[in-house]
Amino acid sequence: MAIKNNENPVMETVAVNRSQIEHRATWMGLIYDEMKKEGLDAEGIIRRAIKRTGCIHGEGFRKQCADPADGSQFCQVFLGTEDNVGPQTFGMDHICSDRDNVSVEFHYCALVSAWKKLGFDDETCALLCDIAMDGDRGIAEAMGMTLDLTDTIAKGCETCKLHFYK
């Protein structure tokens, strides 16, 4: 497997977003590494913390939706499609939503970029990616949805494919 994560030229706001996400991923990766070195259950502990974070954020998104049961409203709030910064940060396209579904593809991942810069191997990047996605799983849960993650850049796929559904 070879991770392909091609950064494309972006506007300044998107570059700042990506930098902030890389910073967060650097913390996550190094905390994971240090916990593992100490013989702690790094994966379990970090998964639980990230899931809690996702649930907190999901509740915030839920409160921003006039009708939290409407996947289209969740899509607008979660992906920030109005200003286009969110979609550009992850190179999103194929954004589709209806009352019961939200699906999107990501062509770039700043988290993977950070983990590769730290020298983590592909297997560790894939694990860290799955752990990080527990935040999105928590968001889905708070919204009364389920998240399927079929492809990921961290596993060597061309894109990350996310599908939130009821």
Residue range 6-15: mean pLDDT, rounded: 72
Q: Give the pLDDT of residue 157.
A: 96
Please give the Cα distance from 91 to 8 (Å, whole number). 8
Q: Compute CA distances 17 → 29, 33, 89, 105, 156, whole Å.
A: 18, 24, 6, 18, 23
What are 136's strand-pairing partners?
Answer: none
Q: Partners of 97 in the beta sheet?
A: 102
Give the chain's domains with CATH numbers. 12-165 (3.30.1380.20)
Residues contacting 3, CB < 8 A, separation 6+: 112, 116, 122, 125, 153, 154, 156
pLDDT value of position 87 = 86
**Residue carrying the six token digits 């939706």:** 65
**pLDDT band at 9, cuts 50/70/90?**
low
| pLDDT score recorded for residue 60 | 97
Higher-pLDDT residue of 35, 4: 35
pLDDT at residue 14, rounded to an integer: 86
Q: For residue 148, what are the β-bridge partners?
A: 163
State the Cα–Cα distance between residues 115 and 98, nearest whole angstrom.
Answer: 34
Average pLDDT, the chain: 93
Q: What is the dihedral of CA 64, 82, 151, 143, to 10 degrees?
A: 10
| Separation CA 70–CA 87 (nearest Å) | 20
Contact 143, 87 (CB under 8 A): no
Gap between the Cα atoms of 85 and 110, Å rounded:
14
pLDDT of residue 130: 98
Q: What pLDDT, on a 0 to 100 scale, did the predictor assign at position 12?
A: 83
* Residue pLDDT, tens place only, 93-110: 999 999 999 999 999 999
Scan for tokens 């954020």, then name that residue.
Answer: 57
Q: What is the pLDDT of residues 20-54, one digit of tens each?
A: 999 999 999 999 999 999 999 999 999 999 999 99
pLDDT in tens, 107-150: 999 999 999 999 999 999 999 999 999 999 999 999 999 999 99
